[in-house]
Every structure is written in C-alpha cells, then in structure tokens.
Amino acid sequence: MARLIHLSEYRSASPSVRFERSELNQLLTLYAERVAGGDWRDYAINLEADGVVFSVYRHTLDRPLLTIAKWARGPRRGNWVISAAGRELVQTPNLPEALRALARHLHPVPS
C-alpha cells in the first residue's frame, strides 16, 4: 500500500540552502575566467541534504577538480568550504573571502 506524503509537511521539515543570485554570479564569473584560461571545462551544481555544492571539472567524465560548498547543517553550518581531491582547502563564513583564498592556494595539477 502506498504511503501518502503531504508536501507541506515535507517542505517545512527540510530547510533547503541554495545559491543566491549574487553568489552564483561570483561563482560563474570565476568559472568563466578559468575556462578562458584553459584550466576548467565543465561544472555541476548539486543539491544535497546539508547544503549545495558547485563542482568544477577539467574533463567532463572525471572526478571534480574542485568543489565549493555552502553548508546549512552539521559542523560546517553557515560556512563556505572549498575542497580539492578530498582535502579541505578553505572554510570561511563568506564567499568573497573563500574565493580570495582560492586564488592564493589553488595550483593547477598537471593532467
């Protein structure tokens, strides 16, 4: 027998986090600059239970080269986290600071 789920209860139970227009604009501006430089080729946006993740790829079928996540729950709540190859590079409460740190710390990996 099927179980009836009321959407109003489901939506209120799980607060979602998403990129605001200004945040997405900053991310896509950085992406466009890196595509023009030949470093990046593709991106994906994933909505997860704890937040939203912007993943960058060098090749479409590879693992993400870099992920920029905005977390809503858990120990990283309210923070932006930039990770590469499974290692956390930066954790900060605002996106511009994270992107500045990204410019300092990220070095291209030979393919």
Domain map (residue ranges) of the chain: 40-106
Reduced to 3 states, what is the DSSP secondary structure of residue 42?
strand
Mean of the pLDDT values across residues 8-22? Answer: 72
The CA distance from 28 to 32, in Å, is 6
* Helix (H) or strand (E) segment spanning residue 105: helix 95-105
Read off the pLDDT of residues 22-76 as tens digits, 9 standing for 90 and up: 999 999 999 999 999 888 999 999 988 888 999 999 887 788 999 999 987 666 6
Whether the pLDDT of residue 104 is over 90: the answer is no
In sequence order, the β-bridge partners of residue 52 are 47, 70
Mean pLDDT (whole number) for 15-21: 80
Q: What's the chain's average pLDDT? A: 82
Residue whose entry in the numeric block shows the structure tokens 């466009």: 32
DSSP for 51-89, written as a single string: EEEEEEESSTTS--SEEEEEE-SSTTTT-EEEEETTEEE
Q: What is the pTM of this model?
A: 0.76
